[in-house]
Every structure is written in structure tokens, then in C-alpha cells.
Chain A
Amino acid sequence: MTTPSTRTDVVIRTYGPGQVPPLVDTVADLWADAHPEIVDTPGAASDGLSVPALRRQVLSHVSNHQEGFTLVAAYAHGSMVGFGYAFPCSADYWFGSDLVPQVPERARTGRLMGLCELAVAPPWQGQGIGTRLHAALLTAIAPEWSSLLVRPDNSAGRALYDRLGYRYAGPYRNGPDGPVFDLLLMQVEAA
């Protein structure tokens, strides 16, 4: 077996909110593949992240942000090998009242995309698939700003986001007892 290395074998598909429910099972399996540190390590600190939580999260986002919700998936040789999803949202919703004042004025009023997941199965990482998925989301949602949360210890993810143009905007805590995430923000260059 040789490791597939051509990019031409990978295709990116863009799905609307109505197409998401039947995809959730496949996406959840892929998420598990992409997060062995959580899924394959019993007792690991998961910060509440798990396959069932991911499923709940996707379905709740798709029903609460139906207008504009976009899921992108990468396929290689007939299987899904990466996915990501995002939706347009207000600054108040995304940053929360504590963080909004720290965000640049223009990012509070411009069209904002909240990026929730971007995952590529380990054998396929490092081949530009994450970058292509991200680009497909920007094309579909056409935002002026994009923002995401990343765990501080996720150095590989952080490197990708730095490369894409994201900058650290502050610490984000999901609830009083929740883990602290790095909030990243990017201004989308006009095409």
C-alpha cells in the first residue's frame, strides 16, 4: 500500500442545511478518526468533547442557524476524509458580551462567519485538504470576517489557522466551568 499523495483525487462538496441530517453519522465517524487523542484514549481530558456531543452540536447548530449553514466535505476514493462547517452569525452571538468589546469595531458590524469544525482524517492531513475546505466555506458564505475557537494545546490546528491568516483575539470560555479556548479572528481579503 502506498500513501495517496495526489491532490487531484480529492474533491470538495458543499452542502446546504437541508442535506446535513443524513450526513451526521458519517461526519461523526470522521470526527472520531480525526480526534484519536479524545476518542481512543480512555479517561483522557476531553473537555466535554465526544462523538455524541459532536452529533448534538451539529444538529443543534443546523436547526438554530438554518439560514446560511454550510457543511463542506472532502472525498477521496469514495470515502469522506475531511469536513468542516460554519454559518453566518452576529458578533454578539459569536463572541459573547464579555469578549465583544475586545473585538475590532469593524468585525462587530461586518458580515461574520463562525467556523465550528474543520477536521481531516490523519492519513490525509498535511495535503492542503483543510485549506481547501476552509476556502469552500468562505466561497459559500462570503463573509468579511471569520472566527473560530481552538484548544490551546492543538498546535497542528493552530499552525494551519495561522497560515490561513487568523490572529489571536482573546481567551474564550464556554460557560463558567468550561475549558478556555483561544479565540481566533481573520479578516477575509476581498476577492
Chain B
Amino acid sequence: MVDRRNATPNTVFRRVREREFQMSRMEFAAAVRRAGQELGEPVGCGARLVAAWEDGEVDCPRSVYRRILTRMTGRSMEQLGFRTTVGPSPAAAAAAVPSPREESDPVERRGFLRDGAGVVLGLPISGEGKIPGKVGAGEVRAVNKAVAKLYEEDHEHGSAALRQAASQALHRAYQWLQSGSYTSGTEKRLRTAVGSLSIAAGWLSFDSGRPGDAHSLYGEALAAARIAGDAELEAHAFGCLSLLAKAQGRPREAVASAQGAQTVARGLGSHRLLSLMHMREARGWALIGDAGATDRAIVRAHHLYAKGPADADPPWLDFYAPGELAGLEALARADLGQHERAAAGAEQAVLLHGGAFARNSALYTADVAIQHAVRDRPEPEAAADAAGKVLAFLPEVRSDRLLQSLHDVAGALQRHSRVPAVADWIEEYRTITTAIGGGRA
């Protein structure tokens, strides 16, 4: 473990990002992902990793990132201000950093993650029933890393296999909280970290068809946020509750929770976070059928989004890229019955995602198919075309929600089953879903 206090911030690299690229950490991370894609080396870079480079927590990026950064900037690692073996004092650096730093990158242990549960999320598991003892900064960091990894994995692949890992990690973290001894400062940070983990676990529960569990986990997160006095976590939990209420057919609660999130998020300095909560409110109004209130919320969301990123943007907000802004608006338009705008918006969302966030791209592609099928002047061929693309996502994205979405596409297309392209798609859908076994666990 490198102690943060000994880390030297990499101001050179930060200046390159801010001055030359004029990007936020989040935007730069997206650019890294795109460059990786172009190099045929897809990576799961997030704002958190960019921050780690800049704060000097990582002396030198891992080799794949070195190749990508050189490609993006035309500079070597030394020129970007990273410490490499030819640095001023290699011996001292090596002594201070006994293991290669990339090993502790939150995004680099993907290979292990799928093999098992708690261990690979980075939470040390001591013997069964053993009392945790002294709990400190290391434990807090472990929980935070587990959260980062869960999001990283979720963006890339969906969640069926992750839920179990998340719930074991949460179990372990609660053990620390209940039986460990810690300072009050550590307690606050640990509660916040565990609350974030509850939200991640709640999301995975929802995504794998367990809304009851999700509701309970979001409630725990909300309580943790209140206990720790953490407004960002509170806003996040309210936002999740809003999303869940929308899915459960309780739009009034969806609006109220989103407004609650806005109230606590207002003082945080993150326009993007506030923007997202207005978009959540819009989804609630759209389900109610109030077009005026929906439009007002959407306009506010766009206005706030346009104010740009800020360093106060929470790392989990990574997913709220321009594609997601377009996509969430499209979903609200769909609920208002504005299907043509919804189809165009969902197409734009897929385009803007440009290969990143595979699961959400797949879901928006499904939405394109549905909107073309149900619009006033339906476009069955366009619907079948988009539906075909959804099937193509399947081997890569193993999410129960994507499978469910596929069934929704089939449901929307059935009214056009006499159109040959649609009939062909339904045949293919039957073959694939039969092979998967219906898709419901």
C-alpha cells in the first residue's frame, strides 16, 4: 500500500489534460476508452483512474495505458510527468513502492473478479467467525475499491454474476462496522463507503430482477448517508429510489425522490449530478403523463449538463455521458407517447456511446426497435433491423435485464408479425432465447 501522504501529484499530466485536451477527468477517461478501442485494446478507464494518475497514487500507468496515452498525446511517460525506472532516483522509488503500482488499479483485476466473490472484490476475508479487530483507512479503501470495481464490471458486462460478489462484500463490510474498533473519523468514512457499496449491490439486485432487495439496500444507503452526514451519498440513494419507483409503477414517488435528491445535491458543486436528478424527475413526470412538467425538467437537466463537468462530480457519475443524457430523454419521450422523438433520441444515445457502456448501448438499441414498432406510423423494417442488432450484443453482454429487454422487443414487434423481416427476427429470437433457456433465473 502506498500512503497517500507520500504521493507526489503529477502536475504535468494534469496540465496536459486541462490545457491541451480541455477535458474533465470523466471526459478524459472516455477519450482513453475510445483510444483503447481504436487500438484494439479496450480498457475500462474511469475518472477515478485518471485521478489516481494525477494524484500520484500511480507512479506509472500499466503498459496498455502507456501505449494508449502515448498514442493520444504523442508523448512518452516521462514527458507526461510519470516516474519510470529512468527517473531521478530509481532506487528510492523502488524502495517506496515495493510492488508494481498497477496491481492496485481498481480496474485491473477483471480477470479475477468473475472467478469468485469477496476475495476478488478486494475485501480481505479472515477466518470464519473471527472478530475483525482494528479497522482503519485500509478497510475503508478496500470497500471503496470494491464499489469502483462493481461499477466498472457492470458497465462492461452487466450484472448476473456480480450480485453474489457484491452481497458477500457487503456482508464483510458490515462485520467491520458492527464488530470492529475504529476512530470516529474512520467510522464516518466507513459508513459512507458501506453506503456506496449498498447502492452498488442494490443496483445489481434490481438489474437481476430483485426489486425488493434493491429497495431495502437503497434504504440502508439512505440511512448510512444520514448517519455519516454525506450529502452526495444521500442524493445518490434518493436518485436510485426514484429510478426504482418509476420501474415499480409509482411515478409520484419517483418525482418526490428525485426532488429530494436535488435538494441535497444542490450544495455539492456538481452540475452533472443535479442534471441527472432533474432527468430522474422528468422520467417520473413522463410516466404521470404531464408533458409540461416533463419538458421543464428535461430543459433544466440539459441546461445543468451544459455547465460542464466539475471535480466535484462523483466517480459513479461516469455513466452519465452525453449518450446517457440523450437516452434518458428518449425514455421520457417514449412514456409521453412521443415515439418518433424517442426513437431518434435512442439512436443518438447509441451513437454517442460509441462502443463504450456496452450494456446500456444494447438497452437503447432495444428501445430503438420498440419505438419504431409502436409509433403512430410504424416502421416495422427499421424495428426489425434494430432488433437484430440487439441480438448481436448477446454473447458479449450477459445481463438478465438485456434478456428481459429482448422479450420486450418481441412483445412490441408481435403486432407486425406478418411483415417478413419481423417474422424472421421473431424466428431468430425464439431460437436464441430457447438456447439460453428462457432467460429468467
Contacts and interface: CB of A to CB of B under 8 A. Distances in A.
18 contacts: A11-B288, A11-B289, A16-B370, A17-B407, A18-B403, A23-B248, A26-B248, A26-B249, A63-B438, A66-B407, A68-B410, A75-B249, A75-B287, A79-B250, A80-B249, A88-B414, A140-B414, A142-B415
Contacts of B326: none
B407 A18 contact: yes
Interface string A39-74: 000000000000000000000000100111110010
Nearest to A73: B249
Contacts of B322: none
A112 to B, nearest CB: 13
Given A18-B407, A67-B426, 14 more contacts: A16-B370, A18-B401, A19-B247, A21-B404, A66-B407, A66-B410, A66-B438, A67-B414, A67-B430, A75-B249, A75-B289, A78-B251, A79-B251, A139-B415
Interface in A120-152: 139-142
A25 interface: yes
Contacts of A21: 209, 211, 404
Interface residues of B, number: 40
B335 A67 contact: no
A160 B94 CA distance: 81
Nearest to B289: A11
A90 interface: no
A74 to B, nearest CB: 10
B-side interface mostly: helix
A15 B438 CA distance: 18
A12 to B, nearest CB: 9
Contacts of A63: 438, 440
Contacts, number: 100
Interface residues of A, number: 32
A13 B335 contact: yes
B184 to A, nearest CB: 38
Contacts of B289: 9, 11, 75
Contacts of A27: 249
B105 interface: no
A73 B287 CA distance: 11
A78 B407 contact: no
B411 interface: yes
A15 B334 CA distance: 12
Nearest to A14: B374
Interface of A: 9, 11, 13-19, 21-23, 25-27, 63, 66-70, 73, 75, 77-80, 88, 139-142
B255 interface: yes
Contacts of A25: 211-212, 248
Nearest to A16: B408
Contacts of B439: 66
Contacts of A16: 370, 404-405, 407-412
Interface in B256-305: 284, 287-289
Interface in B388-411: 401, 403-411
Contact of B411 (A9, A13, A70, A75): A70
A73 B248 CA distance: 11
Given A13-B335, A75-B288, A141-B414, A23 B249 contact: yes
Given A17-B408, A18-B403, A21-B209, A78 B249 contact: no
A64 to B, nearest CB: 9
A133 to B, nearest CB: 14
Interface string B419-441: 00000001001100100001110
A18 B404 contact: yes
A82 B415 CA distance: 23
A70 B411 CA distance: 7
B397 to A, nearest CB: 14
B405 to A, nearest CB: 5
Interface in B67-124: none
Given A11-B289, A16-B412, A17-B411, A78 B252 contact: yes
Interface string B22-49: 0000000000000000000000000000
A22 B430 contact: no
A16 to B, nearest CB: 3
For the complex of A and B, the 7 pairs showing the least CB-CB separation, nearest first, are: A18-B404, A16-B408, A78-B252, A11-B289, A16-B411, A22-B211, A142-B415
B206 interface: yes
B407 A79 contact: no
A153 B135 CA distance: 66
Interface in B348-407: 370, 374, 401, 403-407
Contacts of B212: 25
A79 B252 contact: yes
Nearest to B439: A66
Nearest to B406: A18
Contacts of B410: 16, 66-68
